[in-house]
Amino acid sequence: MPNQIVVAGALISGSSLLVAQRDRPPELAGLWELPGGKVAAGESDAVGLARELHEELGVEVSVGSRIGADIPLNATTTLRAYRVEQTGGTLRPNDHLALRWIGADELDGLPWVPADRAWLPDLTRALTEVTVRKATEADKAAIADVIAYAYRREFSTISRDLDKVARALAHAVQVDRFFVADRRGDVIGTIACTDRTGRAMRASGAELRRHLGLMRGSVLARVAAPEWIATLHYPASTGYLEFVAVAATARRQGIATKLVEGVIAQAPYADYMLEVTDVNTAARDCYRKIGFADIARKKERFGRLKGFRERIYMKYPG
């Protein structure tokens, strides 16, 4: 008897996976699965999966690479999964009780159809894959947003409206100095690698005041902007890492480590310097594990306003 192939689609958007809740048969009703169905005679896996997802979800998809290994359902039926990308239509549960987007941290706790649970390690990797790449002009707003929220302790002394802070910072981002952590098209972290020839942020006082108002914009222009553009007095062989920032949704996932290691792997410098505030012990521990070592401390001017007392300078290799 020929083997029946059943295909399932892993529709991933950013760092979220679409799952569907079964309504039948009774023994599987209420459990969650990757949507899909049987490949008809004469269909390829890709054509069959695209057809099934259009029928079940109301969307058009492009079918990509495999997810995980084949799963035998019985002697004559094999289940396999593919990554898919939505290209059209609107999601709706035509053949399920409900649809839901979940993150990697929710995979294990979800009541899955037993067969699909075998793919959880593969789905976790797919949802947590991160590429550290050079930033582009299209990343500018996302970089500013990640920085505003990651440094909220410092920026909240200027304004509690961090969306407004992000808009104020966007014009200052020098994208040629930045790298980003990219998870399936979403910027979830950022880092700048600068040197004695130029820095990562070039803020205009007029732009800061336009977004933040006269008083707040002027304070930021006076307190922060000058240090952003200060010339670095390091050798040409030294790269300076700054604006290391991770989105709230991606914290505690090793993204800062990936960013620093990604820059060290891609940038042309022999050694690297960075600084961390005395209150940011988690970042300091992270950098030490990578191989940075403390080399100096400096008391901070306007420290009370900025929310910390000292800057700690660290060097790699330590």
* pLDDT tens-digit series, residues 128-187: 888 999 999 999 999 999 999 998 988 988 999 999 999 999 999 999 999 999 987 889
Q: Average pLDDT over the chain, rounded to whole?
A: 93
Strand segments, DSSP code E, in the chain are: 4-13, 16-21, 32-33, 36-38, 59-74, 77-89, 98-102, 131-134, 178-183, 186-194, 238-246, 271-277, 293-299, 310-316
d(CA 65, CA 298): 51
Residues 6+ apart with CB under 8 A from 12: 18, 83, 85, 126, 127, 184
The CATH number given to 4-128 is 3.90.79.10
Range of weakest confidence among 17-21, 155-159, 205-209 = 155-159
CATH code of the domain occupying 131-316: 3.40.630.30
Q: Domain segments of the chain: what residues?
A: 4-128, 131-316
pLDDT number for residue 2: 64
Instruction: Indicate if 131-316 has the same CATH topology as 4-128.
Output: no
Report if pTM > 0.85.
no
Residue 233 and residue 153 in contact, taking contact as beta carbons nearer than 8 Å: no
What residues pair up with 19 in beta bridges, in sequence order? 100
Q: What is the pLDDT of residue 139?
A: 97
Encoded tokens for 32: 């969650």
Q: pLDDT at position 223, please?
A: 84
Render pLDDT for 232-283 as a digit per residue (tens, 0 to 9).
Answer: 999 999 999 999 999 998 888 889 999 999 999 999 999 999 999 999 898 9
Q: Do the Cβ atoms of 137 and 175 come closer than 8 Å?
A: yes
pLDDT for 20 beyond 90:
yes
Across 97-106, average pLDDT: 94
Please tell me the predicted confidence (pLDDT) of residue 303.
73
C-alpha angle 298/309/210, rounded to 5°? 100
pLDDT (mean) for 33-42: 96
CB 252 within 8 A of CB 286: no
Task: Report the pLDDT value the prediction gives residue 24, as an integer from 0 to 100.
Answer: 93
Q: 45-79: per-residue pLDDT in tens?
A: 999 999 999 999 999 999 999 999 999 999 999 99
Please state the rounded mean pLDDT for residues 217-245: 93
**What percent of the chain has a predicted confidence (pLDDT) above 70?**
99
**134: Cβ contacts below 8 Å, ≥ 6 apart:** 178, 179, 180, 266
Helical pair 205-212 and 162-170, crossing angle rounded to 10 deg = 150
pLDDT for 306 beyond 90: no
CA 104 to chain centre: 12
Q: What percent of the chain has pLDDT over 90?
A: 83
* Measured distance CA(80)–CA(71) in Å, rounded: 6
* Tokens read off for 313: 């300078």
